[in-house]
Structure 1
Amino acid sequence: MPGTTQMRARDILYRLQASKAKGVVTTDALAPEVDSVASECPALKVKLLVSDHSRKGWLNFSSLIKSASPEHTCIKSKTMDPMAIYFTSETTGYPKMAKHSHGLALRSSLPSNRKCLQLKTSDILWCLSDPGWIVAFVGGLLEPWTAGSTVFIHHLPQFDPKVIVQMYFKYPITQCLSGTAVYRMILQQNFPSLRFPTLEHCVTGGESLLPQELEKWRRETGIQLSEIYGQSEMGLGCAIYRGMKIKPGSIGKAIPPFDIQIIDNKGNILPPHTEGNIGIRIKPIRPIGLFLGYEGDPKKTAEVECGDFYNTRDRATMDAEGYFWFLGRSDDVINASGFRIGPAEVEEALAEHPAVAESAVVSSPDPIRGQVVKAFIVLTPPFLSHDREQLTKELQQHVKSVTAPYKYPRKVEFVPELPKTITGKVKRSELRRKEFDQMQAATRP
């Protein structure tokens, strides 16, 4: 179960308890976070530290490797044996556990799957994605491993466009795989030159760049940006293959063996240019590489099975040539710089602060990151007279301290009440629509 290094004790506790994990592997930086919750995880038996130092209660990976016998027996695994679990997000609760088989790795070796990057043994690929996400596993490990390519790694604590551009000039990197935020950050810096000496192919995913941004990248670098689409449940599902005709704004065509269609809520296939849900055919045969189900939650698994299809709950259209056009999530998951964030996780963190009576968290448009987290907050009476600017900073820091920092609300608005349905459910869609309407109004000539 890969996990981002940005997780905090709360995130780690949830994952250990939900999965009943018997072991955890981490570095010096996160070991204290694990220790702070270990007593609440009865299934946890082994703690393995990847470090040059020792820590009480932990086994040391380096020492174990040095003392290990060179003789070992490989375990023969089958294609459909469970291999990994990726935690995904949802709006009404905690992340779900999307369980994958070894088929996810096998799929990367299929000729159809290798059309996307078309890596050669001479290529050097830089995947700017946190290793905790599935795109790093599929695009940054399996793809180059299968092709025999070289992987470039830079331990960036955070995205820094100046450092990234410097690396492209300094090292012979030929391909780049990254979220859209990285390209957007680079374009907004106004560098004197973006004509990189060895870079040949750039792939982006997570969200769509604006047509003018795609054109600006092509004009300044001489390279067309190819878009991809995927989920924790599927890995990569659609792509603009290298050398394929690019339609600005399109996420490309389905990657075999996935049969992807636009479906309605009953699983019926919709005609071209009709908005619907992105669906992957699972009957009569479930395709290799698609997740096995949500571990420990057959109800959630059944909810996404829609007729003969797995319903991704992502909205899109498909044109007559089979190109898909992504429109957005049918639920409230926030996609901020490629990080998928469930509002409920942020709202629960905010609820622990005495100033917060209730809150609603939604996505808000942002010129750099595409989307950011925004929190609408109703204050408790004792805090009504507090300085709002200072209180905003305090609440942001509070969220950073109790959950992964990337989840903190970059925007905060204090409101007297939240819009709700007759049954008392918060209307997040209404708040989100307000945010996007304001952005559109601000950009009108």
Structure 2
Amino acid sequence: MGKLPGCDKWRATFWGTTELLMLQPVRELPALERLTLNGNIADLGTFLNRCPRLRLVTRLSPQEFAFMHLLDAQGTQYTNVDLPCFPRTTSVKIDVHNICFTRLLDGEFSKLDRLSLTGCIINDLGTLLSRCPRLRVLKVMTAMSRHDIKVHSASLQELVFGPHTECRGIEIVTPMLKLLKMEVQADKDIRVFISAPLLEMVSWRRSYTGSPIVFGVWHLRNLSLERRQFLRDKHLQNPSSDGQRMLANNHVLFLDMCASDSSDAELDFAQEIQKNMATDFSVLNLSLKTMGHAYGATLLQLFSVLQVHSAMKILKVNLLMSKKSGSGVTQACSENCPCDSPKIWRSQSICMTHLEEVEIKGIKGEDHEFDALKLILKCALLLKRMTVGLEISVKSYRYCTKEINNISLEYPSVDFHVYRPGTLVLHARSSCT
């Protein structure tokens, strides 16, 4: 077992050993700025705590390079550091915080297959990737950066990016890419261009700064897109294995919206949908924080935008609990609230040709909610199943089931299921086999 001696005048050193190296100097190394290690290292965290000026620690290997900053990140100040080149390395993992790699040293990562960056910032990721001709896997979990995300690679097959905050533009050109996972927070004006013709697996999460307005009082908080197998259950809350079916390789669109009277910037929802890598969605998963507002008019507007994306087969609506006042009474919107405009939405319809299944959770028994159910049924002429979950606080569930049963009589070709938590309270069976 070897030990690294302490020397308060060292500014740079190389230490190579085939033994287990104990990095425990007797006292601090106040001048040390660079350290290169080649060997098995123990208790690196203790050593780093005794090197207040240490800027770069590298562990050299023909195959793998790993650098982890074990100190707690404090403040928002970043230290500028040069990123060296490792021409023989096949895997690089850098996990540091409060470090910004501002300059790339000369050379090429000619054998690099996997690159993982966490916490740090690389000002010129595009140039770095141009020096990695064999890179297949890139994972970037960076800190906040206002730089554009630019990834051009002829070899890349897997790309994981995020959470990345305050970026202004995304440009990805990867002809061999098969897996893409991105989580980005940005304002409504972000530029997006993605070219990946061989893409198989997608997970895209887009969070909005400022929650822009999309429909009346409704603000868009998150938009996500996934390509995956989607499980359809025989029952909403009591799935059985014999009733489960799979839709393979389908795009699922997730929308998280909240009703609010605040005046934020407006967003063109139709243009926002066009920014996605795929615009034909088999499943729409909609979360609505209603805050006591009606949502039927918003559903009609959504259908109007998504009508051109006629592949939608499943609609899932999750009505989130509304905020309650100090008296414990559920908040309600004011009379003539714009959430119910235009009033003629109840008599209108949009043809949703392929919609077959609808699941709505959180029905409270309001009149406008029954109107929304009727709207969906009018729009989806080929609907096969309607599943409704009543909110746990609904006391008059008998009234709710009676109203839904009356609606079901007008649509005998639709299978209706109504649940209280854990209990089936109504099953209006389809007259069609």
Q: TM-score normalised by the shorter chain: which range applies?
A: under 0.3
The answer to which structure has the higher helix fraction is 1
Higher CA-based Rg: 2
The answer to which structure has the higher strand fraction is 2
